[in-house]
Amino acid sequence: MIGIRAHDVGKMPVRELAREIAQKGFDCTHLALQKALTDYDFSLGKLNPGMAKEIREAFSRENVLISVLGCYINPVHPDETERKAQLDRFKEHIRFARDFGCSIVATETGSLNRDWSYTPENSSPKAFEMIVESVAELVREAEKFGVIVCIEGVTTHTVSTPQIMKRVLDEIKSNNLQVLFDPVNLLDANNASRQREMISEAFELFGDRIVIIHAKDFIIENGVKKNVPIGKGILDYPFLIKHIKERKPGIEILIEDAKPEVMEESRKYIEHLLKVTE
């Protein structure tokens, strides 16, 4: 199944959004409630089973599955009070995920800077200890509700390499912790030329724990990574799709950071590769 990150389509009422996603030919979506929907108040304490079921049914009427609830938090926020509030919001998503017809709640792994910007401290022992502590707290909640916590590595965040991702998984030791794999997020000007090595290593280290793939593309321009439409950049999609078909057949591939005018072209590009890649 190929899906789209909902708020890339736009922020609008749920029925309109579900219809737009379906009309673009997508079967599933990564839904970040606060970023995508205008007709509900998602402030802490407002989420409930009835609200979740209304949203699920709006997507279901358009035959669109909610594959992932995106809950973008900074699990290592330097302010303890703010970090607790963000973890509480993620836990609320965990408690009601099943009412959305969804079993996965996902986040990136954050930065020790309040604004999520890069700091070398994100690679420090302190940062590793903080991300393990926060994710373990979320996983304990997820275990009570039969839900999966999904974490996504990014080169500038606390989980910045496949090796660090593997260390987090080894530390927490729970099948309720799985991985959202976005290869572009783990590539930059320093390792773009070794992308095959990175992709292979990720599948070797934690391929059994990958439950969702994010799809986008990039170029390196003057030493800076820039997103471009899928198939127009330097990501080795045939190599990635080969690994997906061998190791994770049928996995949901969710396109992100795409402008509405190129979404269908991006979907068709991936569909074609899934058909022709040996």
pLDDT at 102: 97
CB 214 within 8 A of CB 202: no
**pTM for this predicted structure:** 0.96
CA distances for 193 relative to 31, 161, 164, 270, angstroms: 32, 15, 20, 22
pLDDT at 277: 85
Task: List b or e across 114-125, with b for residues whose CB sees 16 or more CB atoms inside 10 angstroms.
Answer: eeeeeeeebbee
CB 39 within 8 A of CB 47: no
CATH 3.90.1300.10 fits 2-276, yes or no: no
Question: What's the CA gap between 237 and 247, in Å, rounded?
Answer: 15
CB 184 within 8 A of CB 235: yes
Pairing relationship of beta strands 217-221 and 210-215 according to DSSP bridges: unpaired
Domain boundaries, the chain: 2-276
**Mean pLDDT of all residues in the chain?**
97
Give the whole-number percent of the chain exceeding pLDDT 90.
99
CA distances for 50 relative to 36, 59, 99, 105, 246, angstroms: 18, 15, 8, 18, 40
Q: What is the largest CA-CA distance in the chain?
A: 51
Per residue in 54-113, pLDDT (tens digit) is 999 999 999 999 999 999 999 999 999 999 999 999 999 999 999 999 999 999 999 999
CB atoms within 10 A of CB 52: 23
